[in-house]
Amino acid sequence: MKKRVLSTLYKHLKKPIVLEKPKDKKLGHFATPIAFSLAKEFKKSPVLIADELAKIFKDEDIFESVQAIKGFINFKLSEDFLDEYATWALKNEEKFGQDSKDEKILLEFVSANPTGPLHIGHARGAIIGDVLSRIGTHLGYKITKEYYVNDAGNQIYLLGLSIFLVGKEKILKEDVKWPDEYYRGEYILDLAKEASEVFGKEIFTDKSFVPKLSDWAKDKMIELIKKDLKNVDIEFDNFVSEKELYKNWPKVLNTLEENGAIYKKDDKIWLKSTKFGDEKDRVVVREDGRPTYLAGDIIYHYEKFRRDYDRFINIWGADHHGYIARVKAAIKFLGFNPDRLEIILTQMVSLLKGGEPYKMSKRAGNFILMSDVVEDIGKDALRFIFLSKKADTHLEFDVDLLKKEDSSNPIYYINYAHARINSVFEKAGKKFEDVWDVKLKDLNEDAKNLLFISLLLPEIIEDAFEKRELQKVTDYLKSLASEFHKFYNEHKVIGSNEEDKLLKLFSAVGLSIRVGLRLLGIEAKRRM
């Protein structure tokens, strides 16, 4: 709708126009402050310009009315236009909200260390990344989803060592001296038991076997991570191994050196990241010659930027905030444009159950497993609630709320609207397609308003994607469901003189709920 309005206005002005929603919906569907920006050019007051433009625009048949008020121009769309758009949308569900953006994006998210199952912190980034990809793909972007596997470094060795020590203590029944840092949880014991079956108990007799255990356990954890993700309908196009990328470290380090990006001090190699906005220079090679964690990120982004993409998006946990400046500095030193990299940070998640903190998983040690929460509330509720707030804000919710069957549970309330629409059609003895060609004429104001809201989904998803504010979609669906329930409770449908018109209106509402939820990775319920 918005694009049609903009193209209509552009035809007269030949200038980019900003469209807004009037604060009072009685004033119209859209408004523009264009007269204020034209005042200097035309040397007239915005009020006079708005009056003149309103007279020009009112002849366009997509508008029912055009009003100039205090320099703003308000537009109310015609019933014919809304009806025509609704008919097309109902007959072209797969194309509703689609666009043809010409841009290739590499989207990297989750990238949790393969040292244990996914916890709820990982889940937030996973769901945001997946839905960003779903909506972006619907808008026409060519998006590749990538998981960067941190399978190099000390944490993988520590995984193997933890399994080795647990096996020694629990299977061989020997005394063990535990290091200060190791992985805890029943899953480590489960891995030790499985390793005993695969390799034999002798795997726990000599510490030289730890690297072998590490590699084996890492692969097991990657399998588990993929399974956990698939259980919430998330799959990746690529998995990139950090360990494999390190083969390119000499070449990348040489490139940094040639570009004057590094220097030696205290037997370490430092990146001059302060040159491009970092608070201090960063070590990329330790005294013993081992590359740091940052080195892995540098190699990965070097490989990324050599691939054929227009833009790169990383979704990181908020604890990685300090890495942004240093990674972007490295990209600049490598000869690429760091502005092509966008980083979305996700804040922490706090879970409650009945008002009390959600219990940590015994299986995983000291954190809450994503799989436990999915088992508790289902993937749809998990997806919806994780998308209900902007990524960079703290999220706290009570899982018991998501089990309620009333308006306090947003996913239930939205699904109930969709199921109710299906129920109304069943009671009327009609199919959706039976009313698609019914003309929506002489609707009351409540019906017109509901029709307009039901057709806003394309604008909502585009705005949500471009601003990286996916909560705009969940907010829209909650608002649409609320407007529908209110209308249903206040107006008779079956047996009324306007039954077919209202059924078409309801089918438009159902369409946006169905498509909107589908873009969130949720299938709308037809019966409840």
Please say if the pLDDT value at position 362 is more than 80.
Answer: no
- Fold of the domain spanning 149-234+349-395: Rossmann fold (3.40.50)
The two domains 2-77 and 410-519 share their CATH topology (first three levels equal) = no
Q: Which residue, among 407, 410, 395, 425, has the nearest Cα to 500 in the 3D structure?
A: 425
Predicted confidence (pLDDT) per residue in 54-90, tens digit: 999 999 999 999 999 999 999 999 999 999 999 999 9
Please say if the pLDDT value at position 134 is more than 80.
Answer: yes
Site of tokens 């119209």? 28
Predicted confidence (pLDDT) per residue in 504-524, tens digit: 999 999 999 999 999 999 999
Per-domain boundaries in the chain: 2-77, 104-148+235-346, 149-234+349-395, 410-519
Predicted confidence (pLDDT) per residue in 417-436, tens digit: 999 999 999 999 999 999 99
Mean pLDDT value across residues 212-225: 97
Write the class of the CATH domain 2-77.
alpha beta
How far is it, in rounded angstroms, from Cα 175 to Cα 196? 18
Q: What pLDDT score was predicted for residue 234? A: 98
Mean pLDDT value across residues 463-474: 98
- Fold of the domain spanning 410-519: Isoleucyl-tRNA Synthetase; Domain 1 (1.10.730)
Q: What pLDDT score was predicted for residue 45? A: 94
On the CB side of 343, CA atoms within 13 Å amount to: 17
Q: What is the DSSP letter of 51?
A: H
- Could you tell me what percent of the chain has a pLDDT over 90? 90
Mean pLDDT value across residues 366-384: 92
Predicted confidence (pLDDT) per residue in 21-50, tens digit: 888 888 899 999 999 999 988 899 999 999
Mean pLDDT value across residues 299-313: 97
The mean pLDDT value of the chain amounts to: 95
Mean pLDDT value across residues 360-375: 85
The sheet with strand 356-357 has its strands ordered as 356-357, 349-353, 395-398
Predicted confidence (pLDDT) per residue in 269-300, tens digit: 999 999 999 999 999 999 999 999 999 999 99
Q: What is the 3-state secondary structure (H, E, C) of 14-38?
A: CCCCCCECCCCHHHCCEEECHHHHH
- Fold of the domain spanning 104-148+235-346: Rossmann fold (3.40.50)
Q: What pLDDT score was predicted for residue 2? A: 87
Helix, strand, or coil (residue 364): coil
Q: What pLDDT score was predicted for residue 55? A: 94
Residues 6+ apart with CB under 8 A from 290: none
Q: One-letter amino acid identity for 302?
A: Y
The sheet with strand 311-317 has its strands ordered as 238-241, 142-149, 104-108, 311-317, 341-346
